[in-house]
């Protein structure tokens, strides 16, 4: 028998409990053992469940029960999850979690403890919900050197942008709709400001490149500044706007990492990722581009990924998975923003005539395509390939204009 | 030290050798052991390679060398690959392969021997080349009951159809171009008649549903009957034509499995899979729809998937992976073709006027949309949801017409 404790009985935790209990036969058959939910930790009372007898309110009951070999952390946030997970690992229990905030902030320390104690610390559900991403990157692409990862990692912002693109809905209305449908929290900051996507790209970069990437080191820009005008101009220019998380290995041993609204060419497969769906594009030196796609959130999907990790732990109680990475040196994430590529530039001015003249003189040298919106006094364009530094230098000539610069990808 | 033998030094085998030898440091670091290529089996001479000393021409040298723990089979075809692989497994060596024909035809027997001998038999590269598909299905989606899999599993036919759709190229010219570019063999039968896709959907169905599916039991239709007229009509109706391999679990314990040209709605993510790319859409009861996408062939991609399997074997020499399935009972694959759904119907007649009249009388009762091509005397349409049996009954009224019926998917 393998005994499991679940910490937290919210959306994910209750999903984990339901799958483990309602699909017990299927799971036991696959694991070839009796996978038993022994405890569920929650401060609240859950009296009318078929498994109400399993609830405990004291974490120490789980910690001190030597029969509990696997703990699923589904509380969310750093505290007390960090303290509890650390103590469980130190006590020789394997831990699985969907908590991206915890893994992004404390993963390096926790994986080190797991290694010392020869137990597993798995977190497939922390990126892409139920989409298999982390295990394929670590195992199936093991013979590759991963060079770059780009992803749509936050379903809420993708839903909002999609509503703006397809239904011409403004940002505020789309956000309200997302909240009504349960896709966005009452306080949507973590989603719309890009923090959630940032934690996930940190985890991906950490696993792909082998050194821990902390959220504070990643340039993060949300979607709150994107207007319907941007969405329409992008459409005319052949692009859709997506919140893209990106990381890339540099030749000097450092990496780049960012989260920012990005114009994605309509020809690319990732431009077709709509609604609450997520997608992760991985570039390997041998496989080329590989994409993983699916619903990135939701109770059942996320819970099923946690359960798959529990099953993996149950099958490998004595054979630790080869998952490990190190702390990075200082300035491992290159924070300079001097990229080379095509950029989206939007210029807005009350003196539209003057702006248009300067625009022709200064920016039209390379026959770029552009969109005029005389009603909103805006010119939007995609530049030819140019260094961002050179572009920003040129844009200094438009001192009276409101200027927006966004990155693009093919 | 872990000793590996590679059988076959063709496209895939040489790729495996190159990765294992040129990226040895990276691989050894990941496996935490010395992964050594001891032999390469090929009847031909390869004199000017940095690893020419490793070649042998006698299979028994590999079989009888107790130091060889892992054998990579990259010969292709059933004979002598089947005999060699069987003997290696029986001798207690783990075997990895990219040989879809072998796995589809003999996998049930080979996995049984592997289980008896407590060694691994892995074949990630047999479906989707370098795209991680099999391992994610078996491991990451382990907490799911998989209900359905659809895929674009053959890059050659997808390239040909894409050229017809995008460049208005007819089938023969597109096939010739595919051959010139090295995407199609001189004898393209296995690709264009759907046999290659059939072997792959057999492997997917086997792993997803737990019983061996043999190619002979799967309805298989290639793309040779698809005309430019079909492609254009599909486009007008909002669809693209793809060669879709499909399998689905039925309530009675049986499964459906087929390979056929299918009209895919332009709104779906799989409709954007162009060129030589492959994609596998998996439906799980918990995760919903998940898609894996990438180049499904190519030396480096396929070889890297074989190497990832070798690395997995090297890490699990004493802990066999939990991969297993059974032989199926007779008639496990439901061969009846009475599906319910929207169908594409194309009618062609020399007496266009008469056909059009009958068409309006008999088929227009449910306000279907249709495309007329008076130049080719053809009417094409998408039906409302209907059972295929009822549709075929209605079509009996068009006895003088050339009739084509294709399935659709959303």
Instruction: Name the residue facing A286 among B130, B139, B284 (closest C-beta).
Output: B130
Please state the three-class secondary structure of chain A as a single string: CEEEEEECCCHHHHHHHHHHHHCHHHHHHHHCCCEEEEEEECCCCCCCCCCHHHEECCHHHHHCCCCEEEEEECCCCCCCHHHHHHHHHHCCCEEEECCHHHHHHHHHHHHHHHHHHCCCEECHHHCCCCCCCHHHHHHHCCCCCEEEEEEECCHHHHHHHHHHHHHCCCHHHHHHHHHHCCCCCCCCHHHHCCHHHHHHHHHHHHHHHCECCCHHHCEECCCCCCCHHHHHHHHHHCEEEEEEEEEEECCCCCEEEEEEEEEEECCCHHHHCCCCEEEEEEEECCCEEEEEEEECCCHHHHHHHHHHHHHHHHHCCCCCCCCCCECCCCCCECCCCCCEECEEEEEECCCHHHHHHHHHHHHHHHCCEEEEECCCCEEEEECCCEEHHHHHHHHCCCCCCEEEEEEEEC
- Give the pLDDT mean for B221-249: 95
Residue B371, classed as helix, strand or coil, is strand
Average pLDDT for residues B299-320, to the nearest whole number?
Answer: 89
Bridge-based pairing state of the strands B340-341 and B386-387: antiparallel
Q: How confident is the model over A301-335, as pLDDT tens digits?
A: 999 999 999 999 998 887 777 688 999 999 999 98
Q: What was the pLDDT predicted at A357?
A: 77
Q: Which residue of B has its CA nearest to A309?
A: B140
B93 is a catalytic site residue: no
Is B127 at the interface with chain A, CB within 8 A?
Answer: no
Q: Does A146 touch chain B (CB under 8 A)?
A: no
Q: Which of B93, B200, B254, B404 is catalytic?
A: B200
A119-135 as b/e, with b when 16 or more CB fall inside 10 Å?
A: bbbbbbbbbbbbbbbbb
The mean pLDDT of B278-302, rounded to a whole number, is 92
- The distance from CA A387 to its chain's CA centroid, rounded to whole angstroms, is 27
Check A315 against B322: CB less than 8 A apart.
Answer: yes
Nearest residue to A215 via CA among A323, A114, A108: A108
Contact A291 B291 (CB under 8 A): yes
* Beta carbons of A303 and B287 less than 8 Å apart: no
Q: Is B196 on the interface with A (CB under 8 A)?
A: no
Query: What pLDDT is attached to residue A349?
Result: 87
Q: Are the CB atoms for B403 and B337 separated by under 8 Å?
A: no
Mean pLDDT computed over every residue of chain A? 92
Looking at chain B, which residue has its C-alpha nearest residue A123? B140
Chain B CB within 8 Å of residue A18 CB? no
Check pLDDT > 70 for residue A155: yes
pLDDT one-digit tens code per residue, A173-210: 999 999 999 888 899 999 999 999 999 999 999 999 99
> In angstroms, what separates the C-alpha of A85 from chain B's closest C-alpha?
22
A308 touches chain B (CB under 8 A): yes
Comparing CB atoms, the residue among B141, B304, B322 nearest residue A284 is B304
Task: Check: CB of residue A282 under 8 Å from CB of residue A146.
Answer: yes
Asked if A76 reaches chain B (Cβ–Cβ under 8 Å), the answer is no
* Candidate from A135, A291, A295 with C-beta closest to B287: A295
Q: Looking at residue B49, what DSSP letter applies? A: S
pLDDT tens digit string along B189-216?
999 999 999 999 999 999 999 999 999 9
- Tens digits of residue pLDDT in A200-254: 999 999 999 999 999 999 999 999 999 999 999 999 999 999 999 999 999 999 9
Q: Return the percentage of chain B with pLDDT > 70, whole number.
A: 98
A362 and A344 Cβ atoms separated by less than 8 Å = no
* Residue B52 CB burial class (10 angstroms; 0-12, 13-18, ≥19): exposed
- CA neighbor of A262 nearest in space, from A226, A290, A229, A286: A226
3-state secondary structure of B284: strand
pLDDT band at A20 (very low <50, low <70, confident <90, very high): very high
Q: Does A234 touch chain B (CB under 8 A)?
A: no
Mean pLDDT of A18-37: 94
Structure tokens, B213: 């599916």
Task: State whether residue B141 sits within 8 Å of chain A by CB.
Answer: yes
C-beta of residue A74 within 8 angstroms of C-beta of residue A20: no
Specify the residue for token string 């030196």.
A285
Q: Give per-residue pLDDT as tens, A59-107.
A: 999 999 999 999 999 999 999 999 999 999 999 999 999 999 999 999 9
Note the pLDDT of residue B363.
65
CB contact (8 A) between residue A30 and residue B135? no
Average pLDDT rounded to a whole number, residues B45-70: 96
Strands A121-122 and A55-56 turn out to be unpaired
Whole-number Å distance between alpha carbons of A241 and A223: 9
Of residues A32, A144, A308, nearest to B141 (C-beta)? A308
**Residue pair A39/A62 in contact by the 8 Å Cβ criterion:** yes
Name residues whose C-beta falls within 8 Å of residue A114's C-beta, 6 or more positions apart in sequence.
A89, A94, A95, A120, A121, A320
**How confident is the model over B252-270, as a mean pLDDT?**
95
What DSSP character marks residue B328? P
**Tokens in use for B356?**
């059009």
Residue A375: per-residue pLDDT? 81
Of all residues in chain A, the one with the smallest CA distance to B24 is: A143
At residue B410, the pLDDT reads: 85
**pLDDT reported for residue A353:** 80
Contact B286 A292 (CB under 8 A): no
Q: Which residues pair with A387 in a beta bridge?
A: A340
Residue A383's pLDDT band (cuts 50, 70, 90): confident
CB contact under 8 A, B295 and A315: no
* Angle, CA A387 vertex, CA A381 and CA A391 arms, to 5°: 50
User: Measured between CB atoms, does A143 come within 8 Å of chain B?
Assistant: yes
Q: Cβ-count burial of B90 within 10 angstroms (0-12 exposed, 13-18 middle, 19+ buried)?
A: middle
Q: Are A16 and A295 in contact (CB under 8 A)?
A: no
Cβ B278 vs Cβ A284: under 8 Å: no
Q: Which residue among A124, A290, A293 sits closest to B130, beta carbon to beta carbon?
A: A290
Residues of A in contact with B315 (CB under 8 A): 322
pLDDT digits (tens, 9 = 90+) for A279-303: 999 999 988 999 999 998 888 999 9
Higher confidence at residue B359 or residue A373? A373
Backbone torsions φ then ψ of A61, nearest 5 degrees: -60, -40
Which has more confidence, B364 or A407? A407
Average pLDDT of the segment spanning B111-123: 95
Answer whether B311 sits within 8 Å of A142, measured CB to CB: yes
Q: A315 to chain B: which residues are within 8 Å by CB?
A: 322
pLDDT above 90: residue A164 = yes
Residue B400 confidence class, pLDDT cut points 50, 70, 90 = confident
Please report residues of B whose CB lies closer than 8 A to that of A270. Answer: none
Whether residue B376 is predicted with pLDDT greater than 90 in this model: the reply is: no
Strand, helix or coil for residue B43 = coil
Q: pLDDT at position B399, please?
A: 82
Does A288 contact B305 at a Cβ distance shorter than 8 Å?
A: no
Catalytic residue selected from A93, A106, A163, A200:
A200
A313 touches B at CB < 8 Å = no
Q: How confident is the model over A360-380, as pLDDT tens digits? A: 766 655 556 778 888 888 989
**Cβ separation B291–A295 shorter than 8 A:** no
Contact A142 B307 (CB under 8 A): yes
| Res A115: pLDDT | 93
Measured between beta carbons, the chain B residues lying within 8 angstroms of A300 are 285-288
Alpha carbon A34 to its chain's center: 34
| CA proximity to B264, closest of B149, B151, B175 | B151
Assembly ipTM: 0.88
In this complex, the residue of A26, A271, A292 whose CB is nearest that of residue B145 is A26
Q: How far apart are CA B295 and CA B301, in angstroms?
A: 7
Using the Cβ of B305 and the Cβ atoms of chain A, whether some distance falls under 8 Å is answered with yes
Shortest CB distance from B142 goes to which of A30, A269, A290?
A: A30
Can the peptide bond before residue B80 be classed as cis, meaning omega within 30 degrees of 0? yes
Per-residue tokens: B76: 């292709």
B295–A287 CB contact, under 8 Å: yes
Confidence at B397, pLDDT banded by 50, 70, 90: confident
Closest partner residue to B301 among A272, A286, A293, by Cβ? A286
Q: CA B228: distance to chain centroid?
A: 24
Residue B53: per-residue pLDDT: 95
**Does residue B289 register a pLDDT over 80?**
yes
Q: What is the pLDDT of residue B142?
A: 80
Q: Is A117 on the interface with B (CB under 8 A)?
A: no
Average pLDDT, chain B: 92
DSSP 8-state class, residue B144: S
Residues of chain B in contact with residue A322, where contact means CB-CB under 8 angstroms, are 30-32, 315
Integer Cα distance of A357 and A345 in angstroms? 16
pLDDT of residue B371: 86
A294 and B287 within 8 Å at the Cβ level: the answer is: yes
Give percent of chain A with pLDDT exceeding 70. 98
Angle between helices B299-315 and B24-31 (to 10 degrees): 30
Residues of A in contact with B152 (CB under 8 A): none
Q: What is the DSSP letter of B202?
A: H
Residues across chain A: 410
Look at residue B367 and tell me whether its pLDDT is greater than 60. no
Q: Of A77, A69, A70, which is closest to residue A98 (Cα–Cα)?
A: A77
For the record, the structure tokens of B58 come out as 């006698």
CB-based contact A289:A283 (threshold 8 Å): yes
Predicted confidence at residue A404, as pLDDT, reads: 94
Residue B338 DSSP SS3: coil
Beta pairing, strands A2-7 & A68-73 = parallel
Say yes or no: A291 contacts chain B, CB-CB below 8 A.
Answer: yes
Q: Name the packing angle between helices B195-209 and B100-117 (round to 10°).
A: 30
Check pLDDT > 80 for residue B369.
no
Interchain contact, A142 vs B308, CB within 8 Å: yes
Residue B358 pLDDT > 80: no
Tokens coding B402: 């050339």
Locus of tokens 């693109």: A165
| Least confidently predicted of A282-296, A386-400, B269-283 | A386-400
């Amino acid at each position: 028998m393998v005994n499991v404790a679940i910490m937290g009985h919210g959306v994910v935790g209750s999903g984990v409990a339901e799958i483990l209990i309602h699909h017990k036969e299927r799971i036991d058959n696959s694991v070839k053992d009796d996978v038993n939910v022994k405890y569920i930790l929650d401060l609240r009372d859950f009296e009318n469940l078929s498994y109400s007898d399993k609830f405990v309110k004291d974490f120490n009951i789980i910690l001190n029960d030597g029969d509990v070999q696997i703990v699923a952390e589904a509380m969310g946030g750093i505290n007390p999850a960090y303290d509890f997970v650390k103590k469980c690992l130190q006590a020789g229990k394997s831990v699985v979690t969907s908590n991206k905030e915890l893994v992004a902030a404390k993963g390096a320390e926790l994986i080190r403890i797991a290694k010392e104690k020869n137990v597993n610390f798995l977190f497939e559900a922390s990126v892409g919900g139920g989409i298999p991403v982390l295990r394929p990157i670590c195992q199936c692409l093991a013979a590759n050197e991963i060079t770059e990862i780009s992803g749509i990692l936050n379903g809420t912002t993708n839903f909002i942008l999609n509503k703006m693109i397809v239904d011409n809905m403004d940002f505020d209305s789309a956000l309200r709709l997302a909240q009504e449908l349960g896709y966005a929290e009452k306080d949507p900051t973590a989603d719309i400001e890009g923090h959630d996507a940032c934690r996930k790209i940190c985890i991906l970069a950490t696993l792909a490149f082998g050194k821990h990437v902390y959220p504070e080191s990643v340039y993060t820009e949300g979607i709150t500044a994107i207007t319907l005008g941007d969405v329409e101009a992008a459409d005319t220019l052949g692009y859709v706007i997506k919140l893209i998380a990106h990381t890339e290995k540099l030749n000097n041993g450092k990496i780049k990492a960012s989260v920012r609204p990005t114009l994605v060419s309509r020809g690319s497969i990732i431009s077709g990722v709509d609604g609450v769906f997520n997608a992760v594009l991985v570039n390997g030196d041998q496989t080329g581009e590989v994409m993983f796609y699916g619903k990135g959130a939701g109770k059942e999907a996320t819970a099923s990924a946690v359960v798959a990790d529990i099953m993996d732990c149950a099958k490998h109680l004595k054979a630790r998975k080869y998952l490990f990475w190190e702390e990075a040196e200082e300035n491992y994430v290159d924070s300079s923003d001097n990229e080379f590529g095509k950029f989206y530039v939007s210029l807005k001015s009350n003196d539209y005539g003057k702006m248009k003249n300067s625009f022709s003189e200064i920016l039209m040298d390379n026959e770029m395509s552009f969109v005029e919106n005389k009603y909103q006094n805006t010119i939007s364009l995609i530049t030819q390939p140019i260094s961002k530094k050179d572009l920003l230098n040129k844009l200094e000539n438009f001192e009276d204009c409101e200027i927006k610069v966004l990155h693009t990808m093919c």
